[in-house]
Homo-oligomer: A and B are copies of this chain.
Amino acid sequence: MMESWSFLDTDESNFRPLVVIELAKGTKEETIEWFTKRIMDKKAHGGAQLLIKPLITENGVENTYLVGASHLRLLLGAETVGLVKECSDNSMRTFTYSSRKTFKHFADDNHNFLTMAECQYIIKHELENLRAKNEKMIPGYPQAKLYPGKSIVRRLLTSGILVQIFPLHDREELKKLRHSWYGRVKVGYQPLDDIRCYFGETIALYFGFLEYFTFALIPMAVIGIPYYVFAWEDYDKYVMFATFNLLWSTVILEVWKRICAILTYRWGTLLMKRQFEEPRPGFHGVLGINPVTGREEPVYSSIKRQLRIYLVSLPFVCLCLYFSLYVMMIYFDLEQWALDYHKENESNFSTLMLYVPSIIYAVVIEIMNRIYRYAAEFLTSWENHRLESSYQNHLILKVLVFNFLNCFASLFYIAFVLFDMKLLRQSLATLLITSQILNQFAESLLPYWLQKRYKRRMKKRKCSQKTDTDLSLAEQVNMEKEMGTYLGTFDDYLELFLQFGYVSLFSCVYPLAAVFAVLNNITEIYSDALKMCRVYRRPFAEPTANIGVWQLAFETMSVISVVTNCILIGMSPQVDALFPDSKVDLVLTVALVEHLLLAIKFIMAFVIPDKPRDIQTKLSKLEFESLEALKQQVRAFKMQLHFLSIHH
């Protein structure tokens, strides 16, 4: 990777801008010079060996730079990041430069072998792995300390010199994608492979999950409709619906794992080796020796972190939970007040007023969720986790616990303390529908509208009537610089998670929830797609092999819903009537059924294999081949040694 790279073409004639780097206004000349030099320097000299060009607009140079790389450099980078691509024999293999000829669609002059998202991911990886050598600080900024091995880009980001790095949109490709994704009204699957090519695996997997989940809810919705239409209230029909729901939710979660394996195998991420995780950008500590790498880098005592978690974060979360319950009690007071008002002066207005407390409460819940989200992010960041994965897990745990209680506490209270099924149904419907409307609005329509307005103003000011594709590069970059940042799939999954809760926790009381969920998800696909394509800056592709901790979260929800549904059925008057003599028998029967259902769930999860058989075969084939290759390599190495010892 050193000498052999000296012949890399740094020919700028076919420079294709891939990534934009925006430096702060007034960044010192010497810093810029040093930084661009490090980016362009040869690998052998510790550089990134990329191409970089300042963006020249009408107003001159604007501290914005375009980064690209030669085709060869990208191929070598693909090897470094461990990309997995399809071979000519249809198997998936880790790409190496030396075996490049065996890959499908590879040709030395085919610059589309790597997708643009992959190229941008490679450049991001190379930039982040540009490390300080002997620099003690960033030239020109003595307060921005460096130590050997520290990622330069991360330090530039944390010290505010680097404003942002983002990948450029490809106007042509985006237009094509938009058209096939949501351009025409059609019934059919999303172009997941195209989404993956353009936005990367994490986002494509989210849309895959959203689509799968919507399809999976359809049977529930279809079975749920007649319950509502004919107002079925029979005992056996309810039990059947709930039982079907509970087992169905296990099946869909298990089957998703298989579909996920199929998708990520096709995309190569199922086989990608986990890269060694570097400290996350915000991590700080005193310089010490990392026991794992043996390198000098900031270390932070684990005990201190534990203290922060258990003495500050945990009490804070508990306080928030208490506050959420307090708000809930206020809601019940309001509800009571509305009911009293309705009783006193009965009118159309008062009937409408009955729904007002629920709607207000739903709005308050959404607001509290969002405020808490910021607090949780701040706290988790303050806990100073070394790895991004650990940070994410702590954040997700905090957010999930709060959101779960915040959204469902009132429903639990109505169901199991007030025993008011009518109110439960009404409350559930109001909460679900209000939160869906709010989400759709806050997530995509609002930003879209804001951005439209901004664009219109921009255009007015410049008096130009160009369409998107006609924009010059400089105009495109400047426009994208102003777009919002997509903060990852967290909120999208969280929304689905809460929706799953509304649908499954009390499914036997309100079978129509699944119908609303399906309707919401269909528009959600469109609005999320719109958001990705129109509202936000293009995000960097993130290879991923599964939906991670969300799988666990959904499975936990499905276990909790077994418990709640069994209790709800046990409480229904129809079931009560079946055990006229003894309430004890009723409770015992319900408990028995619940345990049986849980047992069946666990057995089903155990019996259904996580990966389809053909994927399993392909994986073992690869494992076998790599073992064989290792043997061959050892053998070749020994032969070589032998050969050398003979000839000397």
Contact = CB atoms under 8 A, between A and B. Distances in A.
Interface string A292-306: 111000000010000
Interface string A48-69: 0000000000000000000000
A291 B587 contact: no
A241 to B, nearest CB: 23
Contacts of A634: 1, 79, 96
B563 A2 contact: no
Contacts of A276: 623-624, 627
A635 interface: yes
Interface residues of A, number: 35
A584 to B, nearest CB: 4
A638 B44 CA distance: 13
A3 interface: yes
Contact of A591 (B1, B587, B621): B587
Interface in A291-337: 291-294, 302
A621 B292 contact: yes
Given A276-B627, A584-B583, A584-B584, A292 B1 contact: no
Contact of A639 (B4, B291, B293, B302): B4
Given A292-B620, A623-B276, A635 B587 contact: no
Interface string A351-386: 000000000000000000000000000000000000
A637 to B, nearest CB: 8
Nearest to A582: B583
A617 interface: yes
A634 to B, nearest CB: 6
Contacts of A638: 1-4
What DSSP secondary structure best describes chain A's contact surface?
helix
A580 to B, nearest CB: 14
A641 interface: yes
Interface in A548-569: 563
Nearest to A97: B638
Nearest to A583: B584
A642 B3 contact: yes
Nearest to A559: B602
A264 to B, nearest CB: 20
B563 A4 contact: no
Chain B CB count within 10 A is highest, among A96, A276, A563, for A276
Interface string A1-22: 1111000000000000000000
A584 B585 CA distance: 9
Contacts of A291: 617, 621
A563 B595 contact: yes
A292 B563 CA distance: 43
A437 interface: no
A588 interface: yes
Nearest to A586: B584
Given A276-B624, A292-B620, A642 B587 contact: no
A1 B635 contact: yes
Chain B CB count within 10 A is highest, among A292, A584, A635, for A292
Interface string A147-190: 00000000000000000000000000000000000000000000
Contacts of A2: 635, 638-639
A624 B4 contact: no
A101 to B, nearest CB: 15
Contacts of A620: 292
Nearest to A617: B291
Contacts of A639: 2-4
A302 B616 CA distance: 14
A4 B642 contact: yes
Nearest to A645: B4
Contacts of A294: 621
B627 A292 contact: no
Nearest to A7: B642
Contacts of A4: 638-639, 641-642
Contacts of A627: 275-276
Interface string A194-215: 0000000000000000000000
A292 B624 contact: yes
Interface string A606-637: 00000001000100110110010001001100
A192 to B, nearest CB: 27
A573 to B, nearest CB: 16
A247 to B, nearest CB: 20
8 contacts: A3-B639, A4-B638, A276-B623, A292-B620, A293-B624, A294-B621, A302-B613, A583-B583
Given A3-B639, A584-B584, 9 more contacts: A2-B635, A3-B642, A4-B638, A79-B634, A98-B641, A292-B624, A563-B595, A584-B587, A587-B591
